[in-house]
Every structure is written in structure tokens, then in C-alpha cells.
A and B are shown apart, each in its own frame.
Chain A
Amino acid sequence: MNNKNKSCLTTIPVFIATFLIAFSTSVLAENKPEPIKVGVMLPFSGVYAGLGDSIRNGLKLALQEKGYKASGRLIQLVEVDTEAKPARASELTLGLVDNDKSDFVIGPVHSGVAMGMINTIRNKDSIMIIPNAGANAATGAFCQPNVFRTSFSSWQTAYPMGKEAANMGYKKIVTLSWNYGFGKESLAAFEESFVAAGGEVVKKILVPFPKTEFQPYLTQIASIKPDAVFVFFAGGGAVKFVKDYDTMGLKGKIPLLGSGFLTEGTTAAQGKAAEGLLTTLHYADTIDSSKNKKFRADYKAKFNKSADLFAVQGYDAGQLIIQAVEAVKGNIEDKAALIYQMELLEIDSPRGKFRFSKAHNPIQSIYLRKVVNGLNTVVKESVTNLEDPARGCKL
């Protein structure tokens, strides 16, 4: 009897103690991993707001597939509107990095904003992931260990078209774009490969940004009578240019070629004026892979509109974060190890699988695309696994 009582007296505290320990550790286990903070710096107002929306949608789709968790750690988004204004880039970046303690910062759309962000973030612990801005310098002369890009360099999107244009038999070409970084880099990359293949750029026209009165330039092109025209325009400017090219009667007489942004997210507004246009880009709507089909179906179901390139780039930024966190088993505080693991990753993108170059830009295939019924359809893979030359990068 005594013995029994005694054992009872000892077992109860042990039981309680075990319960307490179990309970407390479970609480600890719940609390221990801090959530991962991801700053999102995109334009949600102004001319580029549409691109910001698409990128954010893509990002959310990628995170939602994993329940906003990676290696058991919750992923929290902190969103900031850049308004695509370079002047505010530094201040907004500092806010996300220093005040919000963001582990990752995703952004921006605009290359001018990107340069300001890189300057601010390069000595910080946060990792920047560029989901659009294509300035060559971001993974070239200004490349940084903690800056990755899931989109493209301007060079990558225009270089393949030079060779394609030469293959189509064109000898004399007029190039045209807005007079800003992205446009000028695209024209230069096109010219590089077109001239190397024996072609000649007879006139390069730079239109003041963001002017969309294209008639004087189209009249000028008609007086030059080139074999073809290569242009870089995006968004609203691309819509206006393609329509003007058609209404001025040049379509069908002088072939119009472009960097893929000419017909990306714009074909609905361009209507029949865009039909048949040939462009090069690292994505096409009709890429025949199960990954792309599933992505497009999920995106359509969730956001009630068709996915575009920008959504893909945002989606891949989300995938990159999840895969990176999982690769270091949630221990993202060791930044050097995290960056090392990110460099080794292969991202299974709707555009096709890609890895990062030494300068942290995707090594990716570029497609020759044709607009058919408003869709950018694959004509062929123009270049397989094209790597940006990363001029001036010392990584």
C-alpha cells in the first residue's frame, strides 16, 4: 500500500513535468523560427502598374503553392509602391531593409529604380531579387553577390533577333526605340548580332521618352524604305506603335520585328494590328510543357486573366525564395551559405528550366515568337541556354 502510494506520488509530478516540458517545447517549436520577411518593391500606380500587378500575382501563386512556408518558416510579404520613380528607390529600399528587416527584397520593374536599389542594398545583408528590370549593368558592371535576377538582361532579349533578321534575308534595317536605357541596350544588342551576320543598320531613331506621337518617325521610315524595321517598345507605347504602324500602311510592306516586349501583355489592346508580328523573348504563351500549362491554368483560375511574361518572372522569384530557404534548411541567417546555395539552384520555370550565371542572371533559352490570335506562339527556339556576357562583372 505504502509503496503503491509512494509510486503514485512520484509518478504524478513526473507526469506533470513531462507534460510541461512537452508543452513548452511544442510552444518553442511553434515560436522558434521567425517568419521570413520578403519586401516587395513594385510599381502599383502609374504607367508600369500593370506589370507590378502581374509580378505580384505570379509571386503570390508561387508562395501559395507552398502555403506561404519554406522549411517550416512562414513567409511574410511587405509591399511598397515604387511608382516607378528612381528618385525614391534608395529611401524605399532602406525602409524595407533597415526598418522592416526584410531577408529578401523583390523588385523592381524599372531599370532606373533597380540601379538605385542595388546601390543601397549592396552592403546590406538582404538579398535582392529582380523580377523584371533588364538593365545589362544590374548583372554586369554593377553586379553584386547579394543581387539575383529571375528575368532577363536587355541584351538577351534582342541579341538573337539580329541573327534571325539576317537569316530572313534582310540587309538594311532601321532600328527605333524610346531614348532610354532599356531601349538603347536592346537596339545595341540587335545591331551587334545583325552587323556580325553581315547586315547594316541604316538609321537608328531614338524617340524621346515617353512620347507616343510616332507619325513623323513612320513617315521618315517610309522615305528610307529599309528591308525591315526592328523596334523596342513596351506597354502603352508598344500598343500605340503597333497600331500606328498598321494605320500608316507600313504593316505588310516593311516587316516589323521587335524585342518581345512589343507584344507582351499588349496584344489584346493592339488587336489585329499585332497579328503576325515576329519577336524574340525568353518566354512564349504556347511553350509546350506541363509546367507552363499548369502555371497558366492556375493563374487564370486564381486571377481571372491570362498569365504573361511578367507573371512568370514574379512566379520564379517566389520559387527562388522557397528553394533557397529549403536548400539551407531554413537557416537563412548565414547569408554566405544562402548565396552559395542560390547559385547552385535550378529553377523549374514555366519558360523552361534555368540556372544562374556567375553574375546571377538566368542562363535561358530565347524563343522566336509570332502573334497568332493574340497569343505569342513559339515559332522555334532561337538560341538554347543563352548566357548574358555580363560585361564588366567581376563575380
Chain B
Amino acid sequence: MDTYFFLVQLLNGVQYGLLLFLIASGLTLIFGVMGILNLAHGSMYMIGAYLAYYFTALTDSFAIAVIISSLIALVIGLLIERFLISHLYKRDHLDQVLLTVGLIFIFNAVQSFVWGNDPLGVEVPSALSGSIQLTELLEYSDYRLFISLICICVAVAMYYIINRTKLGMLIRAGESDRAMVENLGVDISKLFTIVFAIGVVLAALAGIISAPIVSLVPGMGEHVLISCFVVVVIGGLGSIKGAFVAALLVGIVDTFASVLIPEISSMSIYLLMSLILLIKPQGLFKS
């Protein structure tokens, strides 16, 4: 592999990693603040993608579809937290797992019922359908770069919100000592509702913006969920910074393993995870 192709592969890895971060960030945020293990996180990614498909077809505009779909995801997130999750804060993780696994089945059934089982696709919006010539043969589509840009924007926004705003302060406080925050007179249940909804919107947003470059198939959420968990575990449960570093690491390792050690590439990210856990059992950044 010459230098040029090395750089293109690095770009592939970073781009994949950024998308992984967008999906995983919501998962780790919800866990970090609320201690809730949301296994239905992948389903939100799937629902986001299918909503984007539906509204793009309906309105003929991907931009409008992004806005409507995100709003619907927000509402779904609020409803799930208020009516289901909020009853489980005092219960143990197993009950949360049961509920969120149940949600996976429900969302899969809804997807199958509403949109059917054939693979679906969304066309890349025309404003971003151009591409940049990388080599004599290879191009990089504007839309993929756009996705990376969105992911970076989300990462920066999250960094800002968590470290520089009052909401962020509460989130950090909630992570380290929930009881104390409550005793100081903060309405913790409201904070939880907001955090859960943000987490759901992040997953849905990842599904929405990747709809034009993936195929929409039943079960697409579960595949994503596994990679997400690897990212969250490597990064340290609940750490947004950790998720960012881990996502890039996973993206790059997976990309290079695919071409350099194809025989064991499917194991590569799990090997990475084991290795990191051996050295740092709590993950890279424990929040």
C-alpha cells in the first residue's frame, strides 16, 4: 500500500469512526447520566433512517425530512422516558434490559408493518451529490464529507454544552452524585427526560443522515448496536470524550484490519476491546 492509498484508507477509517461516534454518543450519554442501559438505541437509529426515507419521498426534500424526522424522534424519546423508562429508575439493570429488548421487538414489528421487508434506499440530496477526485480512479462524495462535518459539529456542540452550560453542569453533577443533585433542589426527573430525549435524537439523527448511503433493511439497528457497545465499552461507560476517541480508534482499526489482515478482520475490534480492557479495565476514560 503506497502512502496515497494509506491516506485514503485513513480517511475511510476516520469517516466511519465519526459516524460511530454520533450513534454511540447518545448511548453513553444516557448510561452516564441516568445509569440506563438502552438496548433499543439501535432501533432509534433504524427508525430515524426509515423516517428519513418516508418524509423524503413525501416532501421530495431531504432537508425537510431531516427536520421532521428529528422532531418525531424527539417526541418518541420524550414519550418512552415519561411513560416507560421513568418507572424503572429504582429497579435493577435486568428490568431495564427486559424493557428495552421489548422495545426492539416492537420497533422491528412497526418497521416491518409500515415499510415492509424489502430493502429501501434514499437518493443523495442533489446539492451534495457531487464528489472530489482523490486518485485517478477514486472519488469522495460530498455527501460523505457532509456527514463527517455534521458528526464533528455534534461532537463540538456536546463538548460545549457539557463543559460550558448550566445543563452540562447538571449532567456532570448527575453523573458523579445523583442523590446530592436531588438534595440541592434540582428536578432530576426533568433532567433525565431531557437527557434521554437528546440521546434518542442523536441515534435517530445518525440514522437519518446515513439513510442516503446505507440500505434500509429489517434488523439494521441491531448490527449497529453491537459496534456501538464496543465503542462505549472501550471509551469507558458514560464518557463522551471516551466515546469520541474510541469511535475513531474502532473506525481506523476496522478499516485497516479489513485490508491488511482480512482473515481475522471480523475479530479486530473485539481484539482491540479486549486489549484495552486488559490494560484499563474501566475503559479509556472513566467518567
Question: Chain B residues with Cβ under 8 A from A249's Cβ?
Answer: 131, 133-134, 137-139
In whole Å, how far is A310's beta carbon from the nearest beta carbon of chain B? 10
Selected contact of A268 from candidates B121, B135, B258, CB within 8 Å: B121
Is A243 at the interface (CB under 8 A from chain B)?
yes
B258 touches A50 (CB 8 A): no
Q: Which residue of B lies closest to A209 (CB)?
A: B266
Q: Is the CB of A46 within 8 A of B141?
A: no
Contact (Cβ within 8 A) A216 B119? no
CB-defined A-B contacts under 8 Å, sample of 18: A45-B108, A47-B219, A208-B266, A213-B258, A216-B255, A216-B256, A217-B259, A223-B2, A236-B216, A239-B217, A240-B214, A247-B141, A247-B213, A248-B138, A268-B118, A269-B118, A269-B216, A272-B123
Known pairs A50-B116, A249-B131, A265-B118; A243 contacts B215 (CB<8 A): yes
CB under 8 Å from chain B, chain A span 34-73:
45-47, 49-50, 52-53
| CB-based contact B215/A236 at 8 Å | yes
A225 lies within 8 A of chain B by Cβ: yes
User: Is A215 interfacial (CB 8 A cutoff)?
Assistant: yes
**Cβ-neighbour of B258 out of A216, A237, A270 (below 8 A):** A216
| B105-144 vs A, Cβ < 8 Å mask (1 yes, 0 no) | 0001000100011111101100000010111011111011
CB nearest neighbor in B for A251:
B139
Bitwise, B195-224 to A at CB < 8 A (1) or not (0) is 000000000000000000111111110010
- Asked whether, in the complex, the Cβ of A235 is within 8 Å of the Cβ of B266, the reply is no
A213–B268 alpha-carbon span in the complex (Å): 14
Is A198 part of the contact surface with B, judged by Cβ < 8 Å? no
Within 8 A of B (CB), among A210-240: 210-213, 215-220, 222-223, 225, 235-240
Interface residues on A, range: 35 or more
Evaluate contact between B214 and A215: CB separation under 8 angstroms.
Answer: no
Q: Is the CB of A248 within 8 A of B139?
A: yes
Residues of A within 8 A of B102 (CB): none
Smallest CB-CB A-B distances: 6 pairs: A249-B139, A239-B215, A208-B266, A269-B121, A236-B217, A49-B117
Would you call A213 and B16 a contact (CB within 8 A)?
yes
Binds A, one of B4-12, B60-68, B156-164, B241-249: B4-12
> Contact between A243 and B121 (Cβ–Cβ < 8 Å)?
yes
Nearest residue, chain B, Cβ from A237: B215
Q: Is B281 at the interface (CB under 8 A from chain A)? A: no
- A137 contacts B by Cβ under 8 Å: no
A197 at the interface (CB under 8 A from B): no
Closest to A270 in B: B121
A285 within 8 A of B: no
Measured between alpha carbons, how far is A45 from B1 in the docked complex, in Å? Answer: 42
Chain A nearest CB, measured from B179 CB (Å): 43
The yes or no answer to B282 lying at the interface (CB within 8 A) is no
Contacts of B112 in A (CB 8 A): 45, 49
Chain B interface residue number, banded: 35 or more
Q: Is residue B254 within 8 Å, beta carbon to beta carbon, of the partner chain?
A: yes
**Residue in contact with B138 in the complex, picked from A45, A205, A250, A269, CB distance below 8 Å:** A250
Q: Is B265 an interface position by the 8 A CB rule?
A: yes
Residue of A nearest to B223 (CB): A210
Q: Chain B residues with Cβ under 8 A from A266's Cβ?
A: 119, 215
Q: Tell me how far the C-beta of B76 lies from the nearest C-beta in chain A, rounded to whole angstroms.
A: 22
Shortest Cβ gap from A269 to chain B (Å): 3
Question: A47 to B131, Cβ gap below 8 A?
Answer: no
Tell which of B12, B131, B213 has the most Cβ of chain A within 10 Å.
B12
| Minimal Cβ-Cβ distance residue in B for A207 | B258
A271 to B265, CA, bound (A): 30
A265 to B8, CA, bound (A): 32
Does A380 sit at the interface, judged by CB under 8 A? Answer: no
Contact of A53 among B9, B117, B216, B259 (CB under 8 A): B117
A190-215 interface bits toward B, Cβ cutoff 8 Å, 1 = contact, 0 = none: 00000000000000011110111101
Interface string of A270-295 (1 = CB under 8 A from B): 11100000000000000000000000
Q: Is A164 an interface residue (CB 8 A)?
A: no
* Contact flag A215-B119 (CB < 8 Å), given A47-B218, A206-B262, A243-B215: no
Contact: A243 with B213, CB < 8 Å? yes
Q: Known contacts A217-B258, A219-B9, A249-B131; is A240 also within 8 Å of B215 by CB?
A: yes
| Residues of A contacting B120 in the complex (Cβ-Cβ under 8 angstroms) | 268-269
B window 245-277: CB within 8 A of A: 254-256, 258-259, 262, 265-266
Quick check: is A253 within 8 A (CB to CB) of the other chain?
A: yes
Task: Give the CA-CA distance A376 to B255 in the complex, in Å.
Answer: 33
Q: A239-B121, A247-B124 are in contact. Are A205 and B262 (CB under 8 A)?
A: yes
Cα distance A266–B48 when bound, in Å?
21
CA distance A222 to B215 in the complex (A): 23
